[in-house]
Amino acid sequence: MKKWGSLNLERSAFDELIEAFLKSNEDFSLTLRSIMKRMNISIKKLSQETGIPISTLNKILNESRDIRISTLRAIISYFRKIERVSSDIVIGIIASRSTLDNISKKQLLIKGKKVLIKEYPASNIEDAIINAIKAECDRVNGIICAPIIASIIEKFIKIPIVTIKVKEENIIEPIEKLIEKVIS
């Protein structure tokens, strides 16, 4: 767990498993084993909850079998489900994919509450409206988005909305990049 200001940040099992899967079978095996130990989940329980045979899970954990996409999907779906259940609050963030990619932590500990962050990428106003409605259907407790989006989506949903405030230090670097483009 990493400290950032007054927040305690924790990576989700989903993020850990995907990252490990993309590296190697060995990393996936070690990560899955670590998560199972941390969450006190036996191979038998994982098998029962995912429908994956124990023998297949043993082969994955012992790195003697490549992971099929359907198996990966079942494992990840299970961990996403239990993480959702173990969260006190779920917050949706509507933003561009490039902005969402900068959010490395999907779980936070704020004021003693475990907060899960769900991403809703939007590249235009229509995407933002659709994702706001989807977030409400997903039963998020609130949404964070840009001010221009908030004034539109508040007409469609009934959950709380908070806007992102851009500070001057966040604008200086883009201004410098723009100046370079303008004068070159």
Q: Supply 106's token pair.
A: 């999907």
pLDDT single digits (tens) 129-176: 999 999 998 889 999 999 999 999 999 999 999 998 878 887 888 888
CA distances from 163 to 63, 100, 136 (A): 45, 15, 16
- Any idea of the CA torsion for 163, 93, 158, 156, to the nearest 10 degrees? 90
* Cα–Cα dist 114/4, whole Å: 15
On the question of pLDDT at 4 being above 60, the answer is no
**Pick from 57, 83, 81: nearest CA to 71:** 57
Min mean pLDDT across 5-19, 59-73, 110-124 is at 5-19
What is the average pLDDT across 108-117?
86
- What is the model's pTM? 0.56
Strand partners of residue 91: 117, 142
Domains of the chain: 2-85 (1.10.260), 89-172 (3.40.50.2300)
